[in-house]
């Protein structure tokens, strides 16, 4: 039984990791289409990615749209979360529901809705249109992350700060914000990734001018199966890997740094 469990575990890991094992070598492939195993290896497709405006423009579009989406999302979500978590008001549960609605509705349905709605506003095929649509999709995710953080926040900390002479503004700046910072960062990160990753809505409304990277990859795989896709996948994978590993590196470096000496008998 134990052996069976172990092998099941190993198989699941292999199954999950398999695409990476295939994609990473393919990015170095010399074949002119996606092919595995690669017939030979070179860096040509990396050069192609970093020099071809057909790829670079969607990359910049994606970064721009995801950044703007993140900023807009946080501007909306931070006050909304404080209101919904900390205050009681009429229609609160309805507001709660509406915040999370985009999460429940399939993206394709949302996409069709945005297509006609933004079309009327003349925002289809524009950066702003995609940013607005992505913000709608990012808000519930950022809200979920941040509200979980805020619910766990001990309000006595704010009371203590106030009793110690901090005005409500100072309390927010010195106590609430720093303590919530990890939650805010994660919430913003989720908003960013959601936008950067989003394909369905982008296909509907981004058009040629505001085409995002996932949309361009989708177009490419349908038309020519350009191995540059493998390059992008590999780059994204390593970016994420660095993102995940960075905190461990930082804390490892910190713990190596000399500590201030502690006086004897401190325990």
Partner 1 sequence: MSYLQLSDITKTYGHFTALDNVSLSVDKGEFVTFLGPSGSGKTTTLMIIAGFEKASAGTVEVGGQSISQLAPHERNIGIVFQNYALFPHKTAVENVYFPLQMRGVSRTQGLRQAEDMLSLVGLKGFGHRHPKELSGGQQQRVALARALVFEPSLLLLDEPLGALDKNLREQMQIEIKRIQRSLGVTTIFVTHDQSEAMSMSDRIVVFEKGRIEQAAAPLDIYHRPQTSFVAAFIGESNLIPATISSAAGKTAENPALGAFDYAGADNALSDGQKVTLLIRPEHIKLSRNPIEGRRNVRMTVETIVNYGDNALVIGRAGEVTMRVRVLGADVVIIKEGEECCISWMPESVFVITK
Which one of residues 106, 152, 165, 258 is an interface residue with partner 1 (CB under 8 A)? 165
Alpha helices (H) along 28-52: 44-51
The residues in 174-233 that bind partner 1, with binding defined as CB under 8 A, are 174-175, 178-179
CB within 8 A of 179, min separation 6: which ones? Answer: 153, 157
Which one of residues 98, 167, 238, 252 is an interface residue with partner 1 (CB under 8 A)? 167
- Dihedral sign for Cα 32, 35, 38, 42, please: positive
Which region, judged by CB under 8 A, interacts with partner 1, from 17-25, 50-58, 168-176, 211-219?
A: 168-176
Please choose, from the candidates 220, 182, 193, 231, the residue with its C-alpha nearest in 3D space to the C-alpha of residue 28: 231
CB of 155 to partner 1, least distance (A): 9
Site for partner 1 contains 86 (CB under 8 A): no
Please choose, from the candidates 234, 203, 235, 205, the residue with its C-alpha nearest in 3D space to the C-alpha of residue 220: 203
Site for partner 1 contains 18 (CB under 8 A): no
Site for partner 1 contains 173 (CB under 8 A): no
Bond prior to 37 in cis (omega within 30° of 0): yes
Please choose, from the candidates 68, 66, 27, the residue with its C-alpha nearest in 3D space to the C-alpha of residue 50: 27
Which one of residues 2, 156, 223, 255 is an interface residue with partner 1 (CB under 8 A)? 156
CB of 266 to partner 1, least distance (A): 5
Please say which residue, 2 or 163, places its beta carbon nearer to partner 1: 163
> CA-CA distance, 49 to 51, in Å (whole number)?
6
> Strand, coil or helix: what is 29?
strand
Tokens 């401190």 label which residue? 266
CB of 149 to partner 1, least distance (A): 13
Which region, judged by CB under 8 A, interacts with partner 1, from 18-26, 52-60, 173-181, 195-203?
A: 173-181
Site for partner 1 contains 258 (CB under 8 A): no
> CA-CA distance, 163 to 158, in Å (whole number)?
9
Site for partner 1 contains 266 (CB under 8 A): yes
> CA-CA distance, 255 to 221, in Å (whole number)?
46
Please say which residue, 31 or 166, places its beta carbon nearer to partner 1: 166
Residues that bind partner 1 (CB under 8 A): 154, 156-157, 159-168, 170-171, 174-175, 178-179, 260, 262-263, 265-266
């Amino acid at each position: 039984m134990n052996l069976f469990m172990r092998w099941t575990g190993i198989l699941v890991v292999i199954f999950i990791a398999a695409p990476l094992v295939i994609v990473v070598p393919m990015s170095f492939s010399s074949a002119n289409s996606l092919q595995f195993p690669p017939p030979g290896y070179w860096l040509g497709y990396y050069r192609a990615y970093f020099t071809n405006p057909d790829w670079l423009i969607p990359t910049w579009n994606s970064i721009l749209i995801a950044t703007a989406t993140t900023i807009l999302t946080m501007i909306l979500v931070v006050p909304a979360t404080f209101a919904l978590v900390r205050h009681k008001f009429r229609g609160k549960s309805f507001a709660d529901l509406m915040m999370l609605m985009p999460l429940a509705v399939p993206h394709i349905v949302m996409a069709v809705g945005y297509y006609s709605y933004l079309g009327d506003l003349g925002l289809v095929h524009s950066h702003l249109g995609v940013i607005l649509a992505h913000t709608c999709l990012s808000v519930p995710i950022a809200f979920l992350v941040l509200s979980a953080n805020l619910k766990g926040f001990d309000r006595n900390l704010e009371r203590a700060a106030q009793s110690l002479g901090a005005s409500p503004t100072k309390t927010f700046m010195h106590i609430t914000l720093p303590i919530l910072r990890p939650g805010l960062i994660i919430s913003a990160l989720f908003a960013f990734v959601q936008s950067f990753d989003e394909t369905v809505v982008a296909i509907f409304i981004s058009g040629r001018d505001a085409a995002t990277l996932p949309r361009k990859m989708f177009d490419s795989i349908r038309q020519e199966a350009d191995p540059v896709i493998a390059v992008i996948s590999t780059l994204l994978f390593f970016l994420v890997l660095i993102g995940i590993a960075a905190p461990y590196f930082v804390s490892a470096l910190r713990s190596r740094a000399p500590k201030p000496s502690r006086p004897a008998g401190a325990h």
